[in-house]
Chains A and B, each alone.
Chain A
Amino acid sequence: MRIIEIEGLRKSYRVYQKREGLMASLKGIFHREYREVQAVKGIDLTVDEGEFVAFLGPNGAGKTTTLKLLSGVINPTSGTARVMGFVPWKRDNEYRRRFALVMGQKNQLWWDLPAQESFRLHQQIYRIAPSDYDRTLGELTELLSIGKLLRQPVRELSLGERMKMELTAALLHSPQVLFLDEPTIGLDVIAQHNIQQFLRHFQEVRRTTILLTSHYMKDVAALCRRVVIIAQGEIKYDGSLSGIVDRFSGHKVITLQFAEDEPPREADLVRYGQVLEVQPPRAKLRIARAEVPRVLADVLARYTVEDVAVEDRPLEEVIAEMFAQSETRSD
């Protein structure tokens, strides 16, 4: 069943432009120049119930703007979106009781009070039945192992612990749709891993629909089968993570281990493709996908090869290249 439907969603901002210097500041008092920034330029997207979708994209690509639109914080310039049948920016209480937004850089808990007080407040605001509240809180406390921290003022928690509390607060009302904006930003590797594991388990059990934005490829690889790449406010890719490499990387990396006595010189290898690295008797080549069988046959025929590995290029590299391409194209 479709739970999120977005059609032609656009959002542009008017941004105040100020030239450098005091004179410009004085002029700015009377007359201001604005520039139109298109954060989201017409997005179409549908998400089914229970999907875990990652939004990838460089900074300023429009990921967070999209999440803000879907959570009703901002109005679009044009286009439509429906989440669980609601128009987000109408901000119906009924809708607001059924989703949650967690921002890695924003704190929603009461700073000076223990988290359990904030949770109690959420119970009231979201009208959670006492039995549901106790059950969900117990479950989350155990999964995130935060039992001992509930009575400690939030300001005294570590960043990782605080994120766990933020997630607990956001999930207490059992939202059907969850938006996560960089939930692991600034966390160390262990804390990141903990949050990932929790999210994966929680999503598997509850079948919550989750949209996640993250800069950490590990988050995405661990959690999401479906990846949406946004750059310059447009969707550039929508599919599986492994599909990105198939589609955007026309090359493979071949590592050859030659016999000690007669390794080929770099000049001999150039004709196969780009030489990435030569450390005799080993060499790494970047070869066009279609050429791989022919090159391998040729190399094996000419030289004594002890070992060979054919690999896809690392995902990070492919994506970074993609972002760089889309930026140069738009310039």
Chain B
Amino acid sequence: MVGRVITWWTILRICLEERLVYRGDFALGTLMRFLPIVTQIFLWSAVFTARDWRPLQGYGYEQFVAYYLLTMVSRAFSSMPGLASGIAGQIRQGEIKKYLIQPVDLIGFLLLTRVAHKAAYYSVAIAPFALVFFLCRSYFGDLPDHAATHSLTTAAAFVVALVMSFLLGFFLETSLGLVGFWFLEVNSLLFVYMLMNFFLSGHMFPLDMLPEPWRTIVELCPLQYLAYFPVAVFLGKFQGGELARALLVEFAWLAFFVALSRILYWRGVKRYSGYGG
């Protein structure tokens, strides 16, 4: 067990080092992530000006901005830039062989790599994040009593939801990338996924604004856990038994995608080694 932890630590350390090689690209990529939020704030302020600042489906202007800022946090956990396309590329170029020859598990290795990427990202992004939240503190003025800022239980549930959203995002995109064993080129599949993700994860607007039957459809879909759900937990929209049940459903989705990625990898390798290349 100790040996394993040392192995994980070494992989993490080396991935971190690799991440920091291209300092300029890394810094720029980290900072540019804040740009969309500015355009979003302008967009919604224009919408609300036109509406004479009347609330929209229960969301006022402040709540909208607060929602966006919070989805930025959940997406910082759940988004996996380059993961699926990277896996498909490795399959296409035969680099996947390395994981068949060496005594190392591809999915476990990629997960550690991703943890390292995220760790490097947070350590740099925490300062601008803090600054943005400080500047926008007025938007968080009237949070309900059971929001994460007031209740320890909600705060804990928020952290759990975030960690699970990271894992869910990882295994979901890994599964997509592994489809590359069958199709080699997965870019159009990824485009469809990105598009669905944009609307169904709550990245564009709070999902509880949606009318029926869309609301139910979105709730049956795992994408809401990538952006909307952690924010909803933070804002205290789920309480007590409902919160526990929602977290359990998220966990079930996570388990599903862990299993799916395993099956895809197992079958994919079998197919790959059957055809050669």
Q: Which of these, B14, B102, B270, contacts A117 with CB under 8 Å?
A: B14
Identify the closest chain A residue to B276 (Cβ).
A74
On whether A125 and B104 interact (CB within 8 A), knowing A110-B18, A120-B10, the answer reads: yes
Chain A contacts of B270 at CB under 8 A? 75
Distance between Cα atoms of A93 and B108 in the complex (Å): 15
What does the 1/0 interface line of A70-99 toward B look like (CB < 8 Å)? 011111000000000000010101001100
Chain B contacts of A89 at CB under 8 A? 273
In contact, B275 and A14 (Cβ under 8 angstroms): yes
A162 → B minimal CB distance (Å): 16
A66 → B minimal CB distance (Å): 12
In contact, A13 and B14 (Cβ under 8 angstroms): no
On whether A71 and B10 interact (CB within 8 A), knowing A14-B275, A89-B273, the answer reads: no
Interface of A is mostly: mixed
Distance between Cα atoms of A74 and B273 in the complex (Å): 4
| 10 shortest interchain CB distances as A-B pairs | A96-B103, A124-B7, A93-B103, A124-B10, A74-B273, A112-B21, A75-B273, A74-B276, A125-B104, A73-B100
A308 CB-CB contact with B under 8 Å: no
In contact, B10 and A121 (Cβ under 8 angstroms): yes
A11 CB-CB contact with B under 8 Å: yes
Since A113-B21, A120-B10 are in contact, a sample of 9 more A-B pairs with Cβ atoms closer than 8 Å, ordered by chain A residue number, is A13-B275, A13-B276, A65-B276, A73-B100, A97-B103, A110-B18, A112-B18, A121-B10, A124-B11
Number of B residues near A (Cβ < 8 Å) is: 25
Chain A contacts of B100 at CB under 8 A? 72-73, 91
Chain B contacts of A96 at CB under 8 A? 101-103
Which residues of A, 1-18, contact B by the 8 Å Cβ criterion?
11, 13-14
Identify the closest chain B residue to A155 (Cβ).
B21
Chain A contacts of B14 at CB under 8 A? 110, 113, 117-118, 120-121
A289 CB-CB contact with B under 8 Å: no
Interface of B is mostly: helix
Chain A contacts of B7 at CB under 8 A? 124-125, 127
Chain A contacts of B38 at CB under 8 A? none
Distance between Cα atoms of A159 and B178 in the complex (Å): 32
Distance between Cα atoms of A169 and B18 in the complex (Å): 18
Chain B contacts of A93 at CB under 8 A? 103
In contact, B18 and A72 (Cβ under 8 angstroms): no
Q: Which of these, A68, A74, A123, contacts B274 with CB under 8 Å?
A: A74
A108 CB-CB contact with B under 8 Å: yes
In contact, A73 and B10 (Cβ under 8 angstroms): no
Identify the closest chain B residue to A37 (Cβ).
B276
In contact, B11 and A39 (Cβ under 8 angstroms): no
Chain A contacts of B6 at CB under 8 A? 124
Q: Which of these, A14, A72, A106, A113, contacts B17 with CB under 8 Å?
A: A113
Distance between Cα atoms of A75 and B104 in the complex (Å): 19
Which residues of A, 119-163, contact B by the 8 Å Cβ criterion?
120-121, 123-127, 153
In contact, A11 and B103 (Cβ under 8 angstroms): no
On whether A75 and B21 interact (CB within 8 A), knowing A101-B101, A124-B6, the answer reads: no
Distance between Cα atoms of A326 and B105 in the complex (Å): 42
On whether A126 and B101 interact (CB within 8 A), knowing A13-B276, A89-B273, A120-B14, the answer reads: no
In contact, A72 and B101 (Cβ under 8 angstroms): yes
Distance between Cα atoms of A101 and B103 in the complex (Å): 12
B3 CB-CB contact with A under 8 Å: yes
In contact, A73 and B273 (Cβ under 8 angstroms): yes
In contact, A73 and B97 (Cβ under 8 angstroms): yes
Distance between Cα atoms of A96 and B21 in the complex (Å): 31
B11 → A minimal CB distance (Å): 7
Chain B contacts of A75 at CB under 8 A? 270, 273-274
